[in-house]
Amino acid sequence: MSQTELNKETPLGKELLIWLTIATGLALINWFMNYGTWPEVPAAGLRTLILQLLYSYFVFLHILLLIWVFRLLIWDRVKTYGKILREGSGLLFAFIGFVFGLFNLQWFSGAVYDILFPGFTIQFDIGDSLGYWLVTFVVIAGVGIFAVSYHTMRLNLKEGYRIQLERERLQGELETAREMQMGIMPSEAPDCAGFDIAGMCLPATEVGGDFFDYIRPDGDEKDAEMAIAVADVSGKGMKAAMTAVMVSGMLNTEAIHRTNPAEVLIRINRPLFRKSDRRMFAAMLYGILDARKKTFTFTNAGQMPPLLLRDGKVATIASHGPRLPLGVTAEVSYARKVLTLDPGDHLLLYTDGINEARNGDRVLFGEDRLADAFLASAEFSTASKALDVMQSHLGHFAGDEPQHDDITMVLIRVA
């Protein structure tokens, strides 16, 4: 809940109603105390009631006028100060209005008295009952402050409850979106003869735009070919997550019938450009791993270039053709690259959330640290453990600095 919501003021209409209720209550008390006055006058009780109401409303009109002046001229200067100063300033103006009201009541009472009780005279003098009027003001101020504060507290509680319900609703939607996002990604490593493959995705917030996937082209022999995708949708949060789900659906629709990565991305790019916001696009590396030929044929549409660990050295694998992300423009002629894999090779596909991660000094993790972490991971027996090692290196570097972007990795090891 924001500070503005916590300090929400009582609406003016409700506040006036509170003061009117107090004025009416005091008039009724005074009427009850003077009920038996002038029994010889017809309808004396009703006239006395009207008299007390007019007195009370007349004085309160002065109080409200000075409070309005206070709100207009002083409130903006003192509203950020402490509660005692704020309420003390308001009470001072209210008291000034109260005093003005009493002075004016001296002529007002005579005029009203002549109308309600013709033939009777009244001599109104503040000095005769100054103590009574001071006590009355204290009662008015105390009851008024309590009533307005109580109403404001109820408004704050009601607003806080509404905000809490809204938070719970949004949290539920985020959890649903997270389940949808995580549901488009594999829950376990694929079975591909001659390869050890593992993947991971760590969203920076409840939901994000990164995802990875393994897809078996339709009609392929078991374990012969496997498509692998690593994608990063621009932005974060719900919109990025929903776009990621849409892109994943498009990818699966096109990938199961085609074995040319470039053609798959070309066919995804066109409808994505038409359907998505111009500020939304998806960087994707999509390739097909051939278990028989030991090749990885891939197309890179704006994603980070893969890293190949071979013979203790890490190399960046550049790709051919345009590297525009999907959805940037309607027509892109993507090209494919064939990478031959040797026994013992480690191939890392990843998004920019890794190399652009930073620590408390705003230093980037960078490509050199990533290469070092990749080298260190080679000592571990499985691809899954190797990814844990790289994540550990990244966490040690970042320290307490929060994660600013989604992190996704897929590691392919050749037996």
Q: Any idea which of 26-30, 81-85, 249-253, 291-295 has the lowest mean pLDDT?
A: 81-85
CA–CA gap between residue 307 and residue 352 (Å, rounded): 13
Token code pair at residue 82 = 């402490």
List of E strands, 205-292: 210-215, 225-233, 282-290
CA–CA gap between residue 328 and residue 273 (Å, rounded): 6
Which has more confidence, 82 or 63? 63
> Are the CB atoms for 377 and 389 separated by under 8 Å?
yes
Domain locations in the chain? Answer: 3-173, 187-414
- Whether the model pTM is above 0.75: no
Query: What per-residue string of b and e applies to 112-146 under the rule 16 or more CB within 10 Å gives b?
Result: bbeebbeeeeeeeeeeeeeeebeebbeebbebbee
Per residue in 374-398, pLDDT (tens digit) is 999 999 989 999 999 999 999 999 9
Q: What is the CATH number of domain 187-414?
A: 3.60.40.10
Q: Any idea which of 89-103, 198-212, 306-320 has the lowest mean pLDDT?
A: 89-103
Per residue in 77-130, pLDDT (tens digit) is 766 676 666 667 767 777 777 777 777 877 887 788 778 777 666 555 555 555
- In this predicted structure, what is the pLDDT of residue 37? 61
